[in-house]
Each structure stands twice: as C-alpha cells, then as structure tokens.
Amino acid sequence: MAALCLDFLGFQEALKKMRDVDDKIIYALNNALPTESFKGQGQVNTEGTCRDLYSKLQQSHLSRQDSIRSCITISANNLKQLREKREAQPDDVDIDSQFKAEQRKLRVLQAELNVEDIIKERTYKTFNERCRSYFHAGQ
C-alpha cells in the first residue's frame, strides 16, 4: 500500500475497494440473517454469521486505518524534505509548487481518517441493529 501513497488517485481507488465491506453491510446482513418471520425455520447459525462478519469488519477497518496512517507518515516526511528544499531555494517555483501540492495531499489524507471514523460508526450501528440479539462484540 505504501507504493500507492505516491499515486494518490490509486490510493483513493484502493480505499474505495477496501470500503466495499462497509458499503454492502446491509446486503450482507439481509442475506445472512433470517427475518423475524423466518427465525424459527432453517439451520442458520446467526451467532457465527454475526461473529464472522464482525471479524471481517474489524480487520477491514484496522487495515484501512493503518494504510491511511502509513500514507500520512510518508506524506509528512515528503513535506518536511520539501520544506527544507524550499527554505534552501526560496525562489524555485517548482519546489514551491511541489510543497503546496504535498500540503494539500497531507490534508486530504488526514481528512480520510475522519471519513473512516464516520464510516466505521455507521457500519457498526447497522451491524448492532441486526446482530445484537445474536452476538455481542467482545465476547
């Protein structure tokens, strides 16, 4: 994922794919869990299904957060190097342009952490609404 940090559009595309599990949480829960009218029928292991889905969600969230933080670190280091170059060559327009571009990239990456928090909150809310009768996180 670190190589993708250099290609910001590629990084955003990878994040989008990684967020697929969150985007499809309702679909996954509807397909995996019985509705009220079908609760007594069939052989669905609802606790196991909820446990597995919770595990996938946790892994996905941790992986994305680690990827974003890794890119933030890389960008911050690049920004530091560009700042030093900029101070050494204050009249160099290219370095100034690179510095400003890296600043914007770093801000967007930091905003992605906030987006992650919102997505995570929304996903766990949906998960808990459907799985609270069968599975309690931390068990």
Taking the CA atoms of residue 10, residue 12, residue 16 and residue 17 in that order, the dihedral angle to the nearest 10 degrees is: 30
Reported pTM: 0.82
Length of the chain (residues):
139
Max avg pLDDT among 4-8, 42-46, 48-52, 79-83? 79-83
Specify whether the CB–CB gap between 75 and 102 falls below 8 A.
Answer: yes
pLDDT band at 30 (very low <50, low <70, confident <90, very high): confident
pLDDT of residue 116: 94
Confidence of residue 139 (pLDDT cuts 50, 70, 90): very low
Tokens describing residue 57? 């969600």
pLDDT exceeds cutoff 90 at 101: yes
3-state secondary structure (DSSP) of residue 139? coil
49-69 as b/e, with b when 16 or more CB fall inside 10 Å?
Answer: bbbebbeebeebbeebeebbe
Confidence label for 130 from pLDDT (cuts 50, 70 and 90): confident
- pLDDT value at 73 more than 80: yes
